């Protein structure tokens, strides 16, 4: 017998999966997924294990999660602008740019992690 708690967890999980499905429609998210797939191939090619594997996995996940949060911020800003009939607003621009900058920061950290993990194998 499925408990009410288990049913609520299943519904929550379904919503989370839908969020991943929604995210995949973003152009930047798709590019980052392709990068993660390429990195996964390199992980298998070079036999990366242990701590280095964990660093690579967390880096890829952090970039994808940051992009999803960026999309959330952009959509909220667009909704607020639409609901309030606002035109161009420098504050909305700054909010969106801050969110995009956060993604760039995480992506740069992931790239540095990639060079640390894969660099010695390329030399």
Identify the band that residue 94 occupies on the pLDDT scale cut at 50, 70 and 90.
very high
CATH T-level fold of 27-122: Helix Hairpins (1.10.287)
What is the DSSP code (8-state) at residue 85? T
Q: For the residues of 43-67, what is the DSSP string, one character each?
A: HHHHT--HHHHHHHHHHHHHHHHHH
Q: What percent of the chain has pLDDT over 90?
A: 85
Average of per-residue pLDDT values in the chain: 94
Structure tokens at 98: 């801050």
Alpha-carbon Rg of the chain, whole angstroms? Answer: 19
**Residue 101 pLDDT more than 90?**
yes
The predicted model scores a pTM of: 0.89
**Residue 1 pLDDT more than 90?**
no
Mean pLDDT of 11-15: 93
Name the nearest CA neighbour of 78 among 64, 70, 103, 29: 70
Question: According to the model, what pLDDT value does residue 122 have?
Answer: 87
Q: Whose structure tokens read 């519904």?
A: 11
Structure tokens at 122: 């390329």
What is the DSSP code (8-state) at residue 24? T
CA distance 79 to 43: 40
pLDDT tens, 41-72? 999 999 999 999 999 999 999 999 999 999 99
Q: Are 35 and 110 in contact (CB under 8 A)?
A: no
Domain ranges of the chain: 27-122
């Amino acid at each position: 017998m499925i408990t009410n708690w288990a049913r609520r967890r299943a519904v929550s999980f379904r919503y989370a999966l839908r969020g991943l499905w929604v995210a995949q429609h973003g152009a930047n998210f798709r590019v980052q997924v392709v990068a993660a797939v390429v990195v996964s191939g390199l992980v298998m090619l070079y036999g990366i294990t242990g701590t280095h594997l964990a660093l690579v996995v967390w880096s890829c996940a952090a970039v994808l999660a940051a992009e999803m949060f960026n999309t959330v911020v952009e959509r909220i800003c667009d909704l607020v602008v639409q609901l309030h009939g606002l035109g161009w607003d420098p504050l909305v621009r700054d909010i969106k740019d801050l969110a995009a900058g956060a993604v760039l920061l995480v992506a740069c950290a992931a790239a540095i992690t990639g060079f640390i993990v894969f660099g010695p194998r390329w030399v």
